[in-house]
Structure formats: structure tokens, C-alpha cells
Amino acid sequence: MTSNTRVSSLVLSLIGLAVSVYLTVSHYSTGLLVCAESSVVDCATVTSSEQSELLGVPVALLGALFFLFLTALCLPWAWRRRELDWVRLGAVGVGVLFVVYLVAAEFVLIGKICLWCTVVHVVTLALAGVLVTGALRRGSL
């Protein structure tokens, strides 16, 4: 992997982790979620909806665990282990599928958009792009 891939993936993982931790803390605390509200944008409605939990676990917490895992996989030591390329790609693939579900839930089921959630979605898609492009350059795919 190029150093750009390594640095970009680590930075994106850390951004995703930070926003997911913020959303997790906000899930358990009232008044911490800062978000503009309009007829379409309403973070509070999205983050407190039925879809904000999966089997009783906040989706934000799952996101934080996901990004914690990817942060570990994007640290310098992990890039030296070529067999972890597929673990990174598999993890980010699951993340992209989850983003598709969450975006569909926002638009179809909830009818509102959470800007903080959108940041996590964009970071996940950007991370997927960086990792897939890096794997193609490295010849892992």
C-alpha cells in the first residue's frame, strides 16, 4: 500500500470513530446532540428512532466498534501483515452494506436525515474507496 492509502485510511477511521463515539454518548445523554433541524434534517428523530438500535444495541455503538476495529487494522503494524488486507476489505464491505441499510432507513422508514449520521456514512464510503483502490494498487485483489 502507498503511504497515502495508509495515512488516509487511518485518518478516515479516526474521524469515523470520533463521530460514532459522539453519537453513542448522545444516544445515552439528552441535550448533547447538536444538529440543525428542518422539515428534512432532524438528528434527534433519527437517533432516537426504532432503527437507531439493532437488537437493543445502539447503532452508534456498533459504528464506534466498527471504526475502532478499522483503526487498529489501519495502524502501521497492521499494514505489514498482508493477510490483513482481506480482513480490512471484508470489514469495510460489511460497513458499506450497513450504510445502505441505514440510509434507506432514514429516507424510507424515518423520513428524516441525521447530518452526523451522514458524516459517518460518507466516511465509511470514502474509507471503502481508499481501501479498495489501495488493494488494487497493491495487487491484493
Instruction: Give the integer Cα–Cα distance in Å for 102 and 65.
Output: 16
1: confidence class by pLDDT, cuts 50, 70, 90: low
Note the pLDDT of residue 35: 87
Please indicate, yes or no, whether the overall pTM of this predicted structure exceeds 0.85: yes
Note the pLDDT of residue 22: 96
Q: Give me the residue spans of the domains in the chain.
A: 3-138
Instruction: Give the integer Cα–Cα distance in Å for 58 and 49.
Output: 10
Q: Output the CA torsion sign for 90, 126, 123, 81.
A: positive
Per-chain mean pLDDT for the chain: 93
Average pLDDT over residues 10-21: 98
Note the pLDDT of residue 8: 96
Torsion of CA 86, 121, 65, 131, to 10 degrees: 20
Span 57-111, pLDDT tens digits: 999 999 999 999 999 999 999 988 888 999 999 999 999 999 999 999 999 999 9
Average pLDDT over residues 35-59: 91
Q: Sort residue 139 into left (φ over 0), alpha (ψ -120 to 50) or beta.
A: left
Instruction: Give the integer Cα–Cα distance in Å for 60 and 121.
Output: 12
> In sequence order, what DSSP letters do the residues of 41-80 get, joined into one string?
B-HHHHHTSGGGEETTEEHHHHHHHHHHHHHHHTSHHHHT
Pick the CATH number of 3-138 from 3.40.190.10, 3.30.70.240, 1.20.1440.130, 1.10.357.10: 1.20.1440.130
